[in-house]
Chains A and B, each alone.
Chain A
Amino acid sequence: MMARILRRLILALALLAVAAGGARADEGKAGAPHRPFRIYMALWRGWEGAAQGFKDYFANQGIPVELIVRDAAQDPSRLPEFVAEAKSLHVDLVFTWGTSVSLGMLGSGPHPDPAKYITDIPAVFAIVSQPVETGLVPNYRSSGRNITGTTYLVPVETQLNLIESYRPFKILGMVYNPLERNSLVAIDEIRRLGKAMDFTLLALPADVVDGKPSPASIPAKVAALKAGHADFLYIPPDTFLNVNRDILTAAALEQKLPSFAAAENPVVDSKAMFGGVYRYYTVGQLTALKAAQILMGGKKPANIPIDPPKRLSILINMPVVRSLGVYPPMKLLGLAEVVDPTAAK
């Protein structure tokens, strides 16, 4: 199991190196451009890792770009003005962050309304968890229109293998948002994999109060998982859980329940014990690579597949590990990025 993951990681590193080499080759072919490319960056909740990775890629590759950065601050009503502004500025490319911004500015289906959405300017999207299911693109091979982008979710099977390599488990605990259809789909998939990998899933829904999932019900659910002899708490990449990650992970820590997160934030700035993620920064860089292929390599966005980064980041939250006393195997530790704010390194 462990060996399989390691092999996959090594392969992934090699592929990344090839991808990077390819990008450099593209640049060499095009030569230095006359003026900086103008890129319109529409963000959802401020400047973070993916945006930084996107920006750094151009800086590292020596590609001059002028970034026009706009933040919707989680307000969907601002998106129409972004569309109008991008059109009036005649930018070379649009970058959209997150599902809301991407759908709000790029539309869905094969022929979005050119009046409401950006259609003639090429666009790249990032941090869209389900681009196909939401109708942003028809499939991962090609958008069939003037956009492309990246995904950022680690396949569930890879996540489960990673948990197994940290510590074998029989019962996987999970709290989920019953109002989120995607959570139910994910539960089905985990149950199916559980048959092959020989574990059972113990999934408890958060209570719904006034038509909304209640964050206050989370600690009791985590305690129930512990009582049900769960070996691990699995934290899916779910907005409700991400928003309430402090409550969730604190409860897990209190119950001495090791937790695995399929997203970055619960590990990096909360108390999930470890996680396997594509880092936002890496995702941003990959998105920038695709943007460069469009701007400099002359590729059509429809010809660029939508895929995740090749390198998986294993994050280990050392304070939580120390507090739980559930130590990672040496091999995993050797590959992991350690989150340890207390250590003076």
Chain B
Amino acid sequence: MKLDGAIPLFLRLVVLAVLVLVPPIGLIAWSAFDQVEQAIAPELDGKALAVGHGLTEQVERAVGLGIPLDKLVGVEEFFAPTLDANPELRYLAVTDANGKVLFLRGAEREALQPHYRTTDYDLPADQLRAVIGDYVDLALPVEVKGIRLGMVHVGMDANFVHRRVMATLVDMGVVLAVALLLASEILLFVVAVNVSGPLRRARAMMARARRGDFTRLAGVGPLDEVGLFVRGLNAVVLRTDDLYRRLAAYIDEIKSAHFDAGAIERAGMIEGRINFQYRFAVGGEPKAVQERQAVDIRLALFLFTFAEELSRPFLPLYVHALPSPFPWLTPDMAMAVPIAVFMACVALGSPWAGAITGRLGSRPVFLLGLIPAVLGFVAAGFAHTVADMTLWRAFTGFGYAVVTMACQGYMSRAARDQGRAQSLGMFVGAVLTASVCGMALGGVLVERIGFRDVFFVSAALATLSGLLAWRLHEPREPAAPARPIMRDLLALMRNWRFAVLILFAAIPSKLALTGVVYFLVPVYLAKLGYGFGDIGRVLALYAVTVVVLSPLVARLADQTGWRAGLVALGGVIGGLGLLIPALGPGLPPMMLAVFCLGLAQGLSASPQLAAVPDICWIECRNFGQTSVLAQMRLLERIGSTAGPLLGAALVPAMGYAGAIAALGVGVLASALVFAVASFAYGSGPHIQSEERA
């Protein structure tokens, strides 16, 4: 994340925010942890006792009816529903007067039997509480006609509260991390708008003034310290301008008086000298410096992407919960279709969105895109069937394309003022940070407020992003000529090295992203019984890996020029990683696979982009590099759309882990083809196109 001169200030503020927020929240959480454990434990004891009394009464009734305690029938089956209904209870048992285990469900006899023999059962009924390994054992006497015949044992999970509170702590940690990231985004925005932006403009003004150029002002900021300081500087320039005008008026007066030719000549010399050395605004007042910064729109982009990513951990499962009007769709396919349709709409909407951004400017296009996007969010919250859900995802997908292209357009035009690399980094940075936050928080949120309400939160966040975009100041610029898309596309695909890059690197990596991370992983983990919090954290791991790795790899690729190698390496790592879940179910293999995929994306994404100017420098010269990169994005989205569909098609035959592994094999094979093709022909400029040109 590279910024302008305000980095030290911004970083210091972020560090400060972390220092101020984390220790007290950590402290509060930790003490709450203890208190909750202490407060809940007796409650659980009470509940277990109540359950135990109910069971004991039934046992006493049976024994009272003349059935010997050791001859009771179907006790384990009788215990089963109670154990199922109470997750904190681990086992239920009946022992005879000698402590011999007669009936037991939920634990190993060997683990309990030795303990029961040694327990002193002459204690009063309310003190028969013992800790056995990981269990807390409550014993309730079975008494018929005043004779104690045995015990009903209720085994509680000693770590139940601990585990539940830990899970809550992890959720809190996620929320805190997201809050910090959000805080840093807001800080970045505030610093840029209130401090670094005005100061940059003031610096630009002073630099001009130093060269004798008094035609520009630094613009008017808010009435804070920085704003007052900038106003002060503006006043100096305005005062200078004012003095110049007065001087010019005086010289005019001398010129028009005609009383002394020598004086007129000297005045003319002075005027000429002043106009040679200094520049002043021609038609009166100096104008404010107009400068666009990529960071202006970053927070709006961040919030909008954040809103979209919230539903990522649960979207397929929400769709699964809706009735499907298409009996011919397999359940997996029904879950995949809305994701694929979303991706297709993003792909198809982007070229058009790019074109109208060029014509109308970013601000109106951003706001225009919000209309279908927000409508899609709200309606998704009210969805009745898979069919209308798919339609609403299409709406949001289209809106997403429009909004992101508007932001990209804004940032790339800001790049003319600031440098291109920074602006692309800013865009990717905002989207990825929002992915991390959205996926992690979405999982936590959905567990607490439910599927439908998360979509309403998304709608609110997207609306908020619209308010931020509303207040953007955007200078009018001439419309960029729209380029015919299809012709360029065909020309590009005739460049077979570009085609290899697209088919064997860009498309497979997108396919793995949407097929595995967006679709198969959430569905598979949910089937394995993991909660949405866990799912969200696994998905966020992908984005975290990419965020951390991408800048490092970008630097490495630039320094070494070893681009094709990194792209191929990424494919190999990603492909191998996807084979891991086939080894066994559970969270760790899945996390490793997602981590590998993040690693692969981090390794290959920037080199893929960086390789384009080399591979198709003729096309870049003819169509413009931006256009070529846009074509590439469009083409790789074929992979995004196909990913969930392919995954869903593979599931019935191979299962979830099998489908993930199959996609992994595909990614691996593509990476190998790409490696062979690249190494065979080197990584220099594309000779054939060059010859043809």
Residues of A whose CB lies within 8 Å of any CB of B are 2, 167, 318, 321-322, 325, 327-334, 338, 340, 343
A333 contact set on B, CB distance < 8 A: 58, 61-62, 65
Interface centre among A322, A333, A343 (most CB of B within 10 A): A333
A343 contact set on B, CB distance < 8 A: 64-66
Which one of B74-82, B268-276, B563-571, B632-640 is at the interface?
B74-82
- Contact (Cβ within 8 A) B78 A334: yes
Interface size class of B (residues with CB under 8 A): 10 to 19
Interface centre among A322, A325, A327 (most CB of B within 10 A): A327
Other-chain contact of A332, B65, B66, B74 (Cβ < 8 Å): B74
**Least Cβ distance of A24 to chain B in Å?**
31
**Least Cβ distance of B105 to chain A in Å?**
12
Q: Is B428 an interface residue when CB atoms closer than 8 A count as contact? A: no
- Contact (Cβ within 8 A) A2 B77: yes
Other-chain contact of B62, A2, A167, A325, A330 (Cβ < 8 Å): A330
CA distance A343 to B145 in the complex (A): 12
- Contact (Cβ within 8 A) B74 A334: no
**Least Cβ distance of A96 to chain B in Å?**
38
Against A, the Cβ 8 Å flags (1 = close, 0 = not) of B54-93 are 0000110110111100011111011000000000000000
Other-chain contact of A331, B64, B71, B74 (Cβ < 8 Å): B74
B67 contact set on A, CB distance < 8 A: 321-322, 327
A331 contact set on B, CB distance < 8 A: 74, 77-78
- Contact (Cβ within 8 A) A329 B77: yes
**Least Cβ distance of A267 to chain B in Å?**
15
Other-chain contact of A325, B58, B64, B71, B74 (Cβ < 8 Å): B71
- Contact (Cβ within 8 A) B77 A327: no
CA distance A295 to B239 in the complex (A): 105
CA distance A340 to B72 in the complex (A): 18
* Identity of the chain A residue whose Cβ is nearest the Cβ of B76 in the assembled complex: A330
B77 contact set on A, CB distance < 8 A: 2, 329-331
CA distance A167 to B59 in the complex (A): 19
Other-chain contact of A327, B58, B64, B72 (Cβ < 8 Å): B72
CA distance A323 to B65 in the complex (A): 12
CA distance A12 to B72 in the complex (A): 27
B66 contact set on A, CB distance < 8 A: 318, 321-322, 343
B72 contact set on A, CB distance < 8 A: 327, 330
A328 contact set on B, CB distance < 8 A: 73
A340 contact set on B, CB distance < 8 A: 65
In the A-B complex, list the 9 residue pairs whose CB atoms are closest, starting with the nearest: A329-B74, A330-B78, A322-B66, A329-B73, A327-B67, A327-B73, A331-B78, A330-B74, A318-B65
CA distance A101 to B65 in the complex (A): 40
**Least Cβ distance of B262 to chain A in Å?**
117
* Identity of the chain B residue whose Cβ is nearest the Cβ of A316 in the assembled complex: B65
A334 contact set on B, CB distance < 8 A: 58, 78
**Least Cβ distance of A189 to chain B in Å?**
28
**Least Cβ distance of A297 to chain B in Å?**
38
**Least Cβ distance of B103 to chain A in Å?**
9
Interface centre among B64, B67, B74, B77 (most CB of A within 10 A): B74
CA distance A328 to B72 in the complex (A): 8
B71 contact set on A, CB distance < 8 A: 325, 327
B78 contact set on A, CB distance < 8 A: 329-331, 334
B73 contact set on A, CB distance < 8 A: 167, 327-330
**Least Cβ distance of B94 to chain A in Å?**
10
* Identity of the chain A residue whose Cβ is nearest the Cβ of B59 in the assembled complex: A330
* Identity of the chain A residue whose Cβ is nearest the Cβ of B72 in the assembled complex: A330
B59 contact set on A, CB distance < 8 A: 330
CA distance A167 to B73 in the complex (A): 9
Interface centre among B59, B64, B65, B67 (most CB of A within 10 A): B65
B65 contact set on A, CB distance < 8 A: 318, 321, 333, 338, 340, 343
CA distance A318 to B77 in the complex (A): 21
CA distance A332 to B75 in the complex (A): 11
Known: A330-B72, A330-B77. 5 other contacts (CB 8 A): A2-B74, A322-B67, A330-B58, A331-B78, A340-B65
CA distance A333 to B75 in the complex (A): 11
CA distance A334 to B77 in the complex (A): 12
A330 contact set on B, CB distance < 8 A: 58-59, 62, 72-75, 77-78
**Least Cβ distance of B206 to chain A in Å?**
83
CA distance A167 to B64 in the complex (A): 21
Interface centre among B58, B59, B78 (most CB of A within 10 A): B78
